[in-house]
Amino acid sequence: MRRRVVHDPETAAATSSSSDFGESDEPAMPQKPPQPEKKPNSDLLMRTIFTFVMVGIFLITQYVGQTLGIVLVVFCQILMFREVMRINRKRNMENELPGFYTLPWYMFVVCNGFTVIQALRMPLARTWPWIDDWLKHSTFIAFCLYMLGFMAFVLSLKPIKLLDTLGSKLKRRGGNNQTVQKQPKQKFFRYQFNQFGWLHMGLLAFSVMSSFFFSTMLEGMIWFTVPISCVVHNDSWAFACGRLFGSVPLIPTLSPKKTWEGFLGAWFFTTLWAFWFSDFLSKQKRFICPKMHFLSPIECEASETFIAQPYDVPYFLEFALGQIVMIKPVQLHSIAFAAFASLGAPFGGFFASGLKRAFNLKDFGDLIPGHGGMIDRMDCQVLMALFVYVYVSNFVSDHGGICAASSVVTLCFTRMEPRQKIELFNALGQQLKDSGVKMVNGMAVLE
């Protein structure tokens, strides 16, 4: 039986950094006694238990609504950033740079805080109007804070005691001190710039992209729940179909266990799930109503997106379905979500697999027993978040699916000068008159 090896990114990074300089100043750690091998059944049991735990947390989030969903996404962002920054970290090098470890977290707070505020700006301003004076300058504030972090990084690029220590050690061994002093400095600066680039990759891939969950969540929880469930179902069906029918490898260099049969079979079953699940959720207001105020209950009238509409059936299917079928537009949108969850989002997982192979990792962490780290569970979801945001912005919000335009106009109206308000009022009055609207007892009604 092969022995399961768990790779610790920080330990591996520290080992590789010691080899870069020839010798480590840290005392050798005593080797741990060999651990007993874990049985496959115990791994499967832990994976099953924590799968139900994650499903339970997800269901509670759906019941509570957008506020808890926002908190959950931010928590996942923090854990994903922590895991990605651990991969290439070298402790013995950072110990010689005071504050260098805190710099990535400072940049994360700035970047993530900016994206969260931008996504939640509308409901924040409607809930607490006084905060809008600060929010309208959020871009400038975020830029200034980022520049502080950038300047702090540049100022950290300086020689350190570690170079002199290593130079003196190698000089005592008979080496050339001038050569020794130059080479470690280049390696140290290279590490700092590598970490700076690694920091921005982590911010883009896991912080910025996952922040699109906030925007779609505010449009209605259905645009958050259905896409996430599609990714989860696709992963489950790909495993089941691959085990039952799989024979042709999909991408053997990255995921040897993935097969074409599992890939295509998961697409079919995920589409069926999305079509039914979107219809089920569209009957509940807590899922279809947008969140425009944090302290007010969710209440709205169902838009046309959630009301069944007649659609013509292709002639070759008329024998089974008839000439016309009644389908809710949200069900057609869910088919697009299922398609991307099956054909596009898995490449986020393939990317993560390639990254793990590049650094000889089994998992990104051990936060979730049986599953690995947070990135191992969210690698496909971050791509899904970006797709749903782009799709909803192009094909739902602009086509009457979710109309928050009145809220936007109201907020803009409150910021106008009195003269601008009068001009807008007169222009709207003329537009209403031309549209056949008349005023009755101070209320606008259709003629």
Q: Summarize pLDDT for 376-416 with one digit per residue, the tens.
A: 888 899 999 999 999 998 998 754 434 444 555 665 676 67
> Does position 343 have pLDDT exceeding 70, yes or no?
yes
Determine the average pLDDT of the residues in 22-48. Answer: 53
% helix, strand, coil for the chain, step of 5: 70, 5, 25
pLDDT by residue (tens digit) across 92-138?
A: 777 777 778 889 999 999 999 999 998 898 888 888 888 888 888 89
Nearest partner of 342 among 442, 229, 174, judged by Cα: 229
Using CA atoms, how far residue 70 sits from 29, 116, 186, 383, in Å, is 42, 9, 43, 18
For the record, the structure tokens of 193 come out as: 């710039």
Cβ neighbours for 159, distance < 8 A, ≥ 6 positions apart: 185
pLDDT by residue (tens digit) across 252-267?
A: 888 888 889 999 999 9
Residue 147: per-residue pLDDT? 97
> Does position 19 have pLDDT exceeding 70, yes or no?
no
Separation CA 121–CA 119 (nearest Å): 6
Determine the average pLDDT of the residues in 202-214. Answer: 87
What phi-psi label fits residue 205: left (phi over 0), alpha (psi between -120 and 50 degrees) or beta? Answer: alpha
Residue 114: per-residue pLDDT? 93
Separation CA 251–CA 267 (nearest Å): 17
> Does position 146 have pLDDT exceeding 60, yes or no?
yes
Using CA atoms, how far residue 56 sits from 60, 63, 283, in Å, is 6, 11, 22
Separation CA 266–CA 235 (nearest Å): 7
Residue 253: per-residue pLDDT? 82
* % of the chain residues with pLDDT over 70: 77
Instruction: Judge whether 334 and 357 are in contact, CB under 8 Å.
Output: no
pLDDT by residue (tens digit) across 413-429?
A: 766 778 877 877 788 77
Residue 443: per-residue pLDDT? 63
Q: What kind and span of H or E run contains 250?
A: strand 249-251
Reported as a pLDDT band with limits 50, 70 and 90, residue 194 is confident
Reported as a pLDDT band with limits 50, 70 and 90, residue 433 is confident
Determine the average pLDDT of the residues in 300-321. Answer: 86
Determine the average pLDDT of the residues in 11-20. Answer: 45
For the record, the structure tokens of 29 come out as: 């750690």
> Does position 26 have pLDDT exceeding 60, yes or no?
no
Residue 404: per-residue pLDDT? 45
pLDDT by residue (tens digit) across 227-240?
A: 999 999 998 898 88
Residue 399: per-residue pLDDT? 41
> Does position 9 have pLDDT exceeding 70, yes or no?
no
Reported as a pLDDT band with limits 50, 70 and 90, residue 447 is low
Residue 46: per-residue pLDDT? 77
Using CA atoms, how far residue 239 sits from 117, 190, 246, 263, in Å, is 38, 41, 9, 9
Residue 256: per-residue pLDDT? 81
Reported as a pLDDT band with limits 50, 70 and 90, residue 181 is very low
Mean pLDDT for the chain overall: 79
Separation CA 7–CA 366 (nearest Å): 10
